[in-house]
Amino acid sequence: MTGRGTKAGKPARVAWATVGGVRIKHPNKVWWPAEGITKLDVANHYAAVASRMLPWLKDRPLTAERCPDGIGGECFYQKNFEHGLGPNVPTRAIPAQNGQEIVHYVIGGSVRTLLTLVELGCIAVHVMNCRVGSLDRPDWLTFDLDPSSGEFAEAAKASLTLRKILQELGLHSYPKTTGGRGLHVLVPLRHGPNQERVRDFAHGVCQEMARRSPDLITTELAKAKRGRRVFADWIRNAFGETIAAPYSVRRRAGAPVSVPLEWDEVEPKLDPNRFELRNIETRLAQPDPWAASLLRTQRLPDLPLRQGLPKL
């Protein structure tokens, strides 16, 4: 770290710090005022989790959730980096969903790329379900369980219904906290089915969840019609849709982290906000719950899902 000179009696104002070979300007800028968490703290977090996080970012288009002045300032999502971020941060020109414009996505895979985004004020990193070489052939599908009540316990209960259905279909699944009150469940896939097919399948599974647990789970798109039920969201399964990457910091009080879980940890009493930037090293000292998922490929069952799953 390098700092500017000081005058007698005044602490140094640090001009920049180097993390992972990337110069982080204004590292002492406070991004979470209540907790005193700085830009440098975020950079150090991503450097610490990189070995576990980067396999989930490699060759994937990324969206940056930028808050240059911290969580109390203006925040926005950025996916188009038309002017590039330097020769060591790859971008790829990809047609947008409407087919009428080109989006220059940052492509994940390196510590330098990740930390360059932090230098630009990125707090959360969002990632697609596909890689640049096969944008219409996802290699995972995701279920986002969003409790309308705001209670994680409800999402945890709903996830057990989801897991049982997936097990009946012969599919292994992997849960993680969202960094909020919900839960993500990821299913690794073998290349083959296109985005539409994967989304139809996910929709069918969500419909079956709602059929089995109608008082707990809904697929109702209108929030006003969900009541206090958990929304089983299949919509994230499409080109251009994203989820918060595993180990991403979230833009919320306390700087919670989206953390992979073992299934036996998914209990109603679990407090997802206990996983945060300030204590993530405790989690990293434990085995990676998702290590096996990196080696697993699964064929999507060949079922007619447009009208929902057949009763199992």
* Contact present, 207 and 305 (Cβ < 8 Å): no
Check whether 56 has a pLDDT greater than 80.
yes
Which residues, 6 or more positions from 268, have their beta carbon under 8 angstroms from its beta carbon? 152, 153, 154, 156, 157
Longest dimension (CA), the chain: 76
Confidence of residue 139 (pLDDT cuts 50, 70, 90): very high
Over residues 158-167, mean pLDDT: 97
Most confident of 2-16, 51-65, 298-312: 51-65
Q: Which ranges of 38-151 would DSSP assign to H, the alpha helix?
A: 39-53, 111-119
Q: What is the pLDDT of residue 149?
A: 96
Over residues 191-206, mean pLDDT: 95
Confidence of residue 122 (pLDDT cuts 50, 70, 90): very high
Residue-wise pLDDT for 248-260, tens only, equals: 999 999 999 999 9
pLDDT averaged over the chain? 92
Q: What is the pLDDT of residue 8?
A: 43
Over residues 260-288, mean pLDDT: 96
Over residues 16-41, mean pLDDT: 96
Instruction: List beta partners, residue 37.
Output: 32
* Contact present, 22 and 62 (Cβ < 8 Å): no
Q: Which domains does the chain have, with CATH numbers?
A: 16-127 (3.90.920.10), 140-295 (3.30.70.3300)
In terms of Cα–Cα distance, which of 143, 148, 177 is closest to 245? 177
Check whether 303 has a pLDDT greater than 80.
no
Q: What is the pLDDT of residue 100?
A: 77
Confidence of residue 304 (pLDDT cuts 50, 70, 90): low
Confidence of residue 9 (pLDDT cuts 50, 70, 90): very low
- 3-state class (DSSP) for residue 309: coil
Please tell me the pTM assigned to this model. Answer: 0.91
Check whether 13 has a pLDDT greater than 80.
no
User: CB under 8 Å, gap of 24 or more: what pairs does 210-214 form?
Assistant: 211/308, 211/311, 212/161, 212/165, 213/158, 213/161
